[in-house]
């Protein structure tokens, strides 16, 4: 079966082909939801952010610059939608309290999931202490595997800004982790 490439799907979606739009976004939906969830800390809010992002992607698809990475463009829209949502809702304090949940990457090995569950919960609690920009940079770089350059494109800032926010995020996580779990920090230093 012949599969259409991303550029063809973009062109068809711009022309109004909804099936092509669906095919275009299908490989990215879970990653976008995961990113939105990590930004908001709440599944229902993440779904709302994704819905807003999908509407913006559809509405502004004609502005997508050919030759650029489509994935980076839609992640940027999703991150910006999450920022907008957080600003509108003004829920910074609530996000910290709700930060107990974390979008786990699925693993085929249930034993591995159990071993990592406690560590991930600790890291998630530390993530909730970051500013939205630090959290976005950290999650794009460490969680989603984007390069510094790709993260800067998604966030619309310089590579230097990404590196600075990433460094601050890592430092804050280390400090928060050491304060919250001092016994573990000693074990790590050994």
What pTM does this model have? 0.59
100 falls within a domain:
no
The Cα–Cα gap between 98 and 21 comes to 33
CATH number at residue 127: 1.10.10.10
- Residue 81 and residue 88 in contact, taking contact as beta carbons nearer than 8 Å: no
- Write the DSSP assignment of 144-167 as a string of letters: S---HHHHHHHHTS-HHHHHHHHH
Q: Which DSSP letter does residue 83 get?
A: H
Query: Which positions ≥6 away from 174 have C-beta within 8 Å?
Result: none
Over the stretch 35-44, which tens digit does the pLDDT of each residue have? 999 988 889 9
Q: How far apart are CA 165 and CA 158, in angstroms?
A: 11
| CA distance between the termini of the chain | 55
Whether 117 and 183 map to the same domain: the answer is: yes
What would the pLDDT profile of 117-135 be if each residue is shown by its tens digit? 776 777 777 788 888 889 8
Residue 148 lies in a domain: yes
Which residues constitute the domain of residue 66?
1-95
How many structural domains compose the chain? 2
């Amino acid at each position: 079966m012949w599969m259409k490439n991303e550029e063809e799907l973009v062109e068809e979606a711009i022309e109004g082909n909804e099936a092509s739009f669906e095919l275009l976004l299908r490989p990215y939906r879970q990653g976008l939801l995961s990113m939105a969830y990590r930004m908001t800390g709440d599944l229902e809010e993440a779904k709302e952010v994704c819905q807003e992002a999908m509407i913006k992607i559809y509405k502004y698809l004609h502005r997508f610059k050919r030759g650029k990475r489509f994935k980076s463009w839609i992640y940027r829209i999703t991150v910006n939608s999450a920022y907008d949502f957080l600003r509108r809702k003004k829920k910074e304090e609530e996000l910290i309290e709700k930060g107990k949940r974390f979008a786990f990457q699925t693993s085929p090995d249930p034993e591995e999931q159990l071993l990592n569950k406690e560590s991930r919960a600790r890291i998630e609690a530390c993530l909730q202490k970051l500013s939205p920009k630090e959290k976005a940079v950290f999650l794009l770089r460490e969680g989603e595997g984007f390069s510094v350059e790709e993260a800067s494109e998604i966030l619309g800032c310089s590579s230097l800004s990404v590196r600075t926010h990433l460094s601050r995020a890592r430092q804050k996580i280390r400090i928060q982790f050491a304060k919250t779990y001092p016994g573990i920090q000693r074990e790590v230093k050994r």
